[in-house]
Structure 1
Amino acid sequence: MSLHAQNNAVAAGEKLTYTASYNMSGILTELAQVTMETSTVKTSKATLLRLKCTASTYSKWDNFFKIVDLYESYVNPNNLIPYLYKRDINEGGYYKFMKYTYDHKTNTIKSLQRKKNNKEENKSFTIHSGTKDIVSTLYNIRLFDYKSMSIGSKKSFTIVFDREEVNAQITYLGKETIGTNIGKKECYKLAISSSDDVLQGKNNNLLWLTADENKIIVYGKFKIPVGTGELKLKSAEGLKN
């Protein structure tokens, strides 16, 4: 994977809203709303693009299992290389805060973890060149040149999650036109796999990206150890192209 793919797909002011469904006892049930938003953040040294992902359960599920999750990555707007990552999750009483500060010159991350009792743990660790967090990875997938990929060709990349590096791969499965909430869309169909067994089976984890300059994710299907789920685009605002 090119470490410096040019960003021609993602601009500040984009907002993608999804419905996340989960298979509960054989029935696919809408559980949560997922929002992916971009904005410009100016620091004393640079202008960054903030990639913010939030997930929250629909209120009728709050008594059963309440999720309020925030994942965000601050990246170079020209190539989406991350400088700072934060994860702040609260899932049914399970709380965790994690912050990464990248140093790309030395390929290290300074991390800060905070748990329920507010106990903090600082830890630095080494990463491979080009390793990114989950949020910047989801946006980086949109920078690949699918037009020049042949069916069955693969792209490999490395994601850092919970201070561990996970190898992942997408396989290009060709084009498919599907109905979405924003109309019928010709899409690039991708299969995703990972080395950590979180994503189960071959071709069970699929993403559909619009086959245009924006390459937004309109639909996703997932199979994880605790079941299967879907992600469906509800609305898209502020697209770059």
Structure 2
Amino acid sequence: MKKMLTIIALLLFCLGSAQIDNIADGESLTLRIHYGILNAGTANLTTKKTTYRGVPHLYAKGVGQTTGAVKAFFKVEDLYESFINTETGLPSFYVRNVREGGYRQHFETTFNHDNHTLILTDKKNPANGSREIKSVKGVQDMLSCFYYLRSKSPGELKVGTVINMNVWIDDEMFPFQLKVVGTENLKTKFGTINCLKIIPSVKSGRVFKEKEGVTMWVSNDANHIPILLKAELAVGSLKASIDSYKNVKYPLNFTK
């Protein structure tokens, strides 16, 4: 179950810049994660309206952890934080602080979108200091991309939509393509809801089994909250499903 929240965040992305004021202050989403037949853990995503360097921002936090029997032999405690400019939809500051078994990593990234650079600081190894890295226009981090995707109107995110983008992960830029391939009605613990079916094309071999071994479903409404995610990994398979939600901006249309 290594890099649990990393995998989930990789599935949720978008492109460009736009206002994200339609994300509610105090929203909370929790996904229940299964690794094969095991109930492996949870991922919780929360938001809070704030300011960063005097500018209005959305503070997004993602927490992932293993639970139950999986935690006994492989402990995961992942923390992701992003300060997202509410006017542009682009990240200003990003934190990835993870403990996954014997693996430990703690990076902080400050984005400069005006000159397409970023400052990467290795907090785990302070001796490495900080370094400036050339970036690209409209780069997103692993949390900001999720909330930007959800900020798109139903008319912008629909069957046939194809989006290309770059996501900053750890100390490397990753190219992605997202395709909305259809709609489906999915059964959940809350009832049945209509969803957009989305397939991201991802770099195979490093985490995922195949180039298109990932599928996700988001609510087909103005919320675009994740309902179900499936991934065929290099070893085994992962599934994440909506377990709880709170303070979403628009009503969710579940039917029995």
Q: TM-score when scaled to structure 1? A: 0.89
Q: 1:140 aligns with which of 137, 142, 148?
A: 148
Q: Distance in 1 between matches of 2:232 and 2:87?
A: 33
Determine if contact 2:24/2:47 at 8 Å carries over to the other structure.
yes
CA-based RMSD of the aligned residues comes to 2.1
What's the counterpart of residue 11 of structure 2?
none
Partner of 2:183: 175
In the alignment, which residue of structure 2 is the partner of 1:89? 98
For 1:36, what is the secondary structure of its paired residue?
Answer: strand
Aligned with 1:14 (options 20, 27, 30): 27
1:126-183 alpha-carbon deviations (Å, 9 max, x no partner):
1110111111112222233453566444111110112211100111111111011232
Residue ranges of structure 1 left out of the alignment (5+ in a row): none
Question: Are 2:136 and 1:128 aligned?
Answer: yes
Does the 8 Å CA contact 1:39/1:49 hold for their aligned counterparts?
yes
What is the CA-CA distance between 1:78 and the residue it aligns to? 3.7
Aligned equivalents of 1:74 and 1:168: distance in 2? 22
Shift of 1:203: 4.3
Residue by residue over 1:98-119, the C-alpha shift from the partner in whole angstroms, topping out at 9 and shown as x without a partner, is 000001111111010133x664
Counterpart in the other structure of 1:55: 64
**Equivalences for residues 156-195 of structure 1 within 5 A:** 156-195=164-203
Residue 213, structure 1, aligned to residue 222, structure 2: yes
Q: Distance in 1 between matches of 2:209 and 2:148?
A: 22
**C-alpha distance in 2, partners of 1:148/1:71?**
27
- Tell me the distance in 1 between the aligned counterparts of 2:172 and 2:53: 31
Q: Which residue identity is paired with 1:69? A: D
Count, aligned residues: 236
Residue identity (%): 25
Structure with a larger share of its residues in strand: 1
2:115 maps to which of 101, 106, 115? 106
CA displacement at 1:120 relative to structure 2: 4.1
- The answer to which of 231-240 and 39-48 deviates more is 39-48
Change (3 A) 1:148 1:45: closer
AA aligned to 1:48 is H
The match for 1:224 is 233
Instruction: Out of 216-225 and 192-201, give the one that drifted further.
Output: 192-201
Question: What per-residue deviation string (whole Å, max 9, x for no partner) do you get for residues 24-46 of structure 1?
Answer: xxxx2111110000012234512
| TM-score, with structure 2 as normaliser | 0.84
Question: Does the alignment pair 1:34 with 2:43?
Answer: yes
1:54 deviates by 0.4
> What SS does structure 1 have at the residue aligned with 2:73?
coil
Distance in 2 separating the partners of 1:228 and 1:106: 40
